[in-house]
Amino acid sequence: MPLVPMRQVLDEAAKGGYGVGAFNVNNLEQIQAIMEAARETKSPVIIQASRGARKYAHDRFLYHLMIAATEIYPEIPVVLHLDHGNSVETCKSAIEMGFTSVMMDGSLMPDGKTPSTFEYNVKVTREVVEMAHAKGVTVEGEIGCLGGIEDGHGAGLDGLSHLTDPDQAEEFVKLTGVDALAVAIGTSHGAYKFTKKPTGETLRMDRLIEIHKRIPNTHLVMHGSSSVPKELQDIVNQYGGKLKPTWGVPIEEIQLGIRNGVRKINVDTDNRLAITGAIRKVFMEHPEEFDPRAYLKPAREAMKKVVMERMIAFGQAGHAGDYEPIPLSVMAERYAAAAV
Ligand SMILES: [Zn+2]
């Protein structure tokens, strides 16, 4: 099965009333962990690479690892998505490299730090939509600014200062034609999202529900949506780590989102914590070990377990075989027909 356009996976998720986790990868073990979790839970899956990941691993490695995943797991629909593209050029290179979905994050300037204007955001996103849809590739946009910084990307703001405005979201979708929209509702990238369990004031699910009412046919995306469970923090700290106490987005809030138009949920931090905890445990308990497999295997297992839990919680489990994936060329024809 070739890599699948994200639009199809999200359309199917909307039909089925579930969400799909989008998990970040940088290396072989993370891809294996996600694919094993997908097989075991029979889940369609979105695997995403940030600019940092593309730089770390190199596009060709990532692409061929993903092709290997589709060969080894032919029963699983897999999307390869670019996370936080900072410019038209970055999105273009990802499309040329074989990504089946790209995010044009025009909420920030190309430096990935400075909040942009609405006009700038519309202009670059529109450009990416035209280029991507001609090839059947899906586009995610962002309006409003998420909190935090990850991989050098982000304005470093708190999550609440640039919330998505529902009027602007509606206008943005009309002007750009994006397939999916990332909304800022108080979440942040990284491990330190909330200083205590989020309330309706710090995590604005009311805002998300309002946005969904305005653009019911646009798939909403929740970024920075790791739950940062205490158990994962504890394992890291128990084996010599130094994480400060922190709170993520509770699973039940994500599920509320899924009932209100959220189809893609970005999770990275939870997997990072699981990997780091497992590796630290081996290092502390078996200091005589020096075969990387001795700690990468438990790390991969730990990440697989977290991904499986998320797949079940988001509702994507059991849906891998629901539909026949369509190639990018067919998707391109659909976009062309819809534009007439
Ligand atoms: Zn993000």
**DSSP code per residue over 206-228:** HHHHHHHHH-TTSEEEE-S----
Query: For position 147, what pLDDT does the model report?
Result: 78
Helix (H, G, I), strand (E, B) or coil at 128: helix
Stated pTM of the model? 0.96
Does 78 reside within a domain?
A: yes
Distance (angstroms) between ligand 1 centre and the Cα of 74 equals: 28
Low-confidence ranges of the chain (pLDDT < 70): 151, 340
Does 214 reside within a domain?
A: yes
Let me know if 268 is a catalytic residue. Answer: no
Q: What is the CATH number of the domain that holds 327?
A: 3.20.20.70
Distance (angstroms) between ligand 1 centre and the Cα of 83 equals: 7
Tell me which residue of 103, 108, 149 sits closest to 128, measured CA to CA.
Answer: 103
Does 87 reside within a domain?
A: yes
Distance (angstroms) between ligand 1 centre and the Cα of 287 equals: 36
The boundaries of the domain holding residue 53 are: 6-229+244-268+316-331
Distance (angstroms) between ligand 1 centre and the Cα of 154 equals: 9
Neighbours of ion ligand 1 (CB under 5 A): 223
Tell me which residue of 39, 6, 2, 11 sits closest to 22, measured CA to CA.
Answer: 6
Quick one: tokens of 288? 């005589």
Does 67 reside within a domain?
A: yes
- The active-site residue out of 59, 83, 167, 322 is 83
In the chain, the DSSP E strands lie at 20-24, 45-50, 78-85, 101-104, 138-143, 180-183, 219-222, 262-267
Query: For position 12, what pLDDT does the model report?
Result: 98
Number of domains making up the chain: 1
Distance (angstroms) between ligand 1 centre and the Cα of 84 equals: 6
Query: For position 145, what pLDDT does the model report?
Result: 86
Cα end-to-end distance, the chain, whole Å: 30
Distance (angstroms) between ligand 1 centre and the Cα of 189 equals: 6
Distance of alpha carbon 194 from alpha carbon 174, whole angstroms? 33
Does 109 reside within a domain?
A: yes
Contact between residue 189 and residue 150 where contact means Cβ atoms under 8 Å apart: yes
Distance (angstroms) between ligand 1 centre and the Cα of 134 equals: 25
Query: For position 118, what pLDDT does the model report?
Result: 95
Query: For position 153, what pLDDT does the model report?
Result: 75
Distance of alpha carbon 138 from alpha carbon 101, whole angstroms? 4
Query: For position 119, what pLDDT does the model report?
Result: 97
